[in-house]
Structure formats: structure tokens, C-alpha cells
Amino acid sequence: MSQDIPSLLARIDEEPDKLHSDMTPAVEALIEIGEPALGPVLELMLSPGRETRMHAQRVLEGVTLRLHGFRPGQGWDDQSREDDWRRFWKSLGDLDWDAPEASRADAVALWREWLRR
């Protein structure tokens, strides 16, 4: 499935959900792939395209939320795990797709280091 990552990255902005424009079929597929998608998707956070960055952040959130115990359609299995995820996200620069480029670059550097470990 990870061989699909380049194709999904190329289509990350295609066919946004009419009610949730931050979700596309590629975003959902990348979330399903999980951890192998994190590194390639992270680089999209430096894209000049706002929609691309928004979609990339949804993938990063979706994968890491699941790693911390979130289950779509069910929620958190333990409230403390949500708190753990929020601390985790903040520790990696509180990445925000709409932040200035310098802030995003600083956060991406923290993510790269985390992914190397």
C-alpha cells in the first residue's frame, strides 16, 4: 500500500468532500496507510498551496490521532490519551497549515527529527 503514496500525494487536493473540504479521498487513503505516509506528507506542509497544506495536516492529524488511541466513529478509548496527543502535537511545534512559512518550517524540522527517532 505504501507504493501508492506518491500517487496519493499527487491527488491530495482532488475531490474535496462537499461538507468537509479538508477531506479528500487521498487524505482518507493516506490516513489508512498510517505511519509510512507521515514523512512524505510532512513535506507538503511547506507547499505554497493553502489547500495542499490543509489536506496534509489532516493526514498528519489523522495518523497520529490513531497512534494515540483515537478511533474514527468511536472517539477516544481513554480521555488521557487525547491529552497525550495534544501534548504530542504541541511538542512538535503545534503545526498549523495556515501559519506563516517560517513557523511551519520550524515545526517541520521538529517533525523530521521525531520521525528520524
What ranges in 11-116 are assigned the alpha helix state H?
A: 25-33, 38-42, 50-67, 79-91, 101-116
Model confidence at 3, pLDDT cuts 50, 70, 90, reads confident
All residues at 6 or more sequence positions from 42 whose CB lies less than 8 Å from its CB, including other chains: 56, 60, 108, 111, 112, 115
As for how many domains the chain has, the answer is 1
Model confidence at 33, pLDDT cuts 50, 70, 90, reads very high
Model confidence at 79, pLDDT cuts 50, 70, 90, reads confident
Distance from C-alpha of 59 to C-alpha of 54, rounded to nearest angstrom: 9
104 contacts 95 by C-beta, under 8 angstroms: yes
Range of the domain at 109: 2-116
43 contacts 57 by C-beta, under 8 angstroms: no
Whether the predicted model's global pTM rises above the 0.75 cut: yes
